[in-house]
Structure 1
């Protein structure tokens, strides 16, 4: 592990979160299980468990396994606005009972939820898609703002490019700001640090790793894809509120939309089982992505990927991907004046 005294990329965010490098694993629901989160954490990054709408039993297993795999801090990612209130209450209570010390929230800001975990002494990272959401998150008590751009894979809350959004948020907050969306290489990290951000969050880059809980088919599609192969659509919306857009790799479902990618009403979409996770059915147009445990028509499921997919050329261990990102960023920052670094296209 890199000695933080010799790491030029160590930022104050690292001290706040307890990591060595300012690279966060996105809390991808279903994908960011303990194996991936621990691999990123033990390699010096900051891991998050993606526990969106998961049962307290699964959360207990995942958090316990994570705690056994690393002694370093990590966060649990939950999405309050997309979770039934009783389940959300049980999730948070479970995490607090297990000694979880940090949460990452996403989508609409719910001040009462933020206040609850802050009262328990936890750190709060809040991912946002607009400047207004960043203001609301800060007012609610968030410690870190994650600025998610429209380039991101998975659920996308805003419609602004990541770096443009981050710069606007940086201009109106003193909190650490993390850039997220389309970042898969050290160039993106270097660009983020150059504009004054405290680090980056990566999803697609870590989905396509050996430890990821994504199905090998999903990983292979990312390796084959370019950023231009991704589409922003709200067709994969079952299980989420109407209008919740996602960025996915084009497939037979998006091909069948005839270019009408947005404006779909979940109440008017058919409920057709196309796959299973054990005994749980997975529906066409649902937000479920193919996991290791999924069988069925994987091609027609939501194949989440950000516009940085074109930079992912192979499946590697998560530690290797993180090391490569850090090494490239360090090389750029040592050899290139900051004003010559431009945000990734």
Structure 2
């Protein structure tokens, strides 16, 4: 657990809204943010999210049940309406509501009717966006929190603006709390976000490289070894998602073969070739699947998601240790800034 005095110094109104101690959110990474990681983040004072994009109601039930058994802290479930078949999406939401899920995180195109549906059920809505326009639409639809995703983010990236420039623009455009995300992996990043008026930060890569994440050890090792410049933004890993959906990954043999032509790939023209497996489920080259604990096969050629903050991740540690380190660093920076401000006034 983070130092209680430092944690208290970082507390923002977002913490009261979400029921967490520190304004550090776990990104709802599909496949990676399972119950063990969400519980570890929540129990360490952060805000946990389950990454359930396109997962079955049966798996959602298992994950939510296990998470509730592991923590009494609030949490959210991440689903992506625009990238999910409508009948499955309806089944996912109905399942979550039946299970008493208190909050949802949505991403990609804003679908106001979906936001309204879960708001009527009394749930909080956090909506991740990549543009100011999308932030306004999400707020108008009823979102309680806007997550401003910069182009530095690992995984799927919707916008093309740097994280702090986008965060500032969205802060100027909406009234609800704004969380910054994208390449943020340290206490210094948290301090910078809070100093500019953001309500907190959301981290993906920093939590992917933890003991509790469901990512394959190979993926975690590649994150630890990578620098921000080792990541590329590409839409070649697009099978299972809409055309043009770009992702940030660690460069590998697939991206190396593109000759620098990272964008502009049509999923309809890409071959369907199984290179790895999760039990009896094939994982295709060029798919959005990343290697999980259960994956076997050609892991190197899969989508190895990571943000530009990977260069600040030097080891795989428990999630609680990562949060405590971030809180300690951010707290010291912000205390120093407050001291400078007082001296300036004097």
TM-score, with structure 2 as normaliser? 0.97
The Cα of 1:339 is off from its aligned counterpart by: 9.3
Aligned length: 340
Q: How much does 1:273 deviate?
A: 0.4
Pair 162,13 (structure 1): closer, same or farther in 2 beyond 3 Å: same
3-state DSSP class of the match of 2:136? helix
Distance across 1 between alignment mates of 2:312 and 2:189: 11
How far apart, in 1, do the equivalents of 2:65 and 2:45 lie? 20
Whether 2:102 is the aligned partner of 1:76: answer: no
* 1:223 correspondence with 2:243: no
The residue aligned with 1:269 is 270
Q: For residue 210 of structure 2, what is the aligned residue in structure 1?
A: 209
Q: Aligned partners of 2:274 and 2:74: how far apart in 1?
A: 39
Match of 1:343 in 2: none
CA contact (8 A) 2:49 2:76 kept: yes
1:103 corresponds to: 104
CA distance in 2, matches of 1:141, 1:338: 38
CA-atom RMSD in angstroms: 1.3
Kept in 2, the 8 Å contact 1:114–1:142? The answer is yes
Q: 1:222 to 1:187 in 2, by over 3 A?
A: same
- CA–CA distance in 1 between the matches of 2:280 and 2:240? 18
Unaligned runs of at least 5 residues, structure 2:
342-346
- The residue matched to 1:7 in structure 2 has which SS? helix
After superposing on structure 2, the runs of 4+ consecutive aligned residues of structure 1 that deviate more than 6 Å are none
Query: Matched residues in 2 for 1:242 and 1:260: separation?
Result: 16
Go from structure 1 to structure 2 and tell me whether the alpha carbon gap of 1:210 and 1:128 turns closer, same or farther (over 3 Å shift). Answer: same
Q: Which runs of 5+ in 1 are unaligned?
A: 341-345
Distance (whole Å) between structure 2 residues aligned to residue 328 and residue 268 of structure 1: 47
Inter-partner Cα distance in structure 2 for 1:328 and 1:285: 38
Counterpart residue number, 2:344: none
Q: What TM-score, normalized to structure 1?
A: 0.97
Aligned residue for 1:316? 317
| Matches of 2:272 and 2:102, distance apart in 1 | 39
1:221-248 CA distance string (max 9 Å, x none) = 0000000000000000000000000000
Cα distance between partner residues in 2 of 1:108 and 1:331: 38
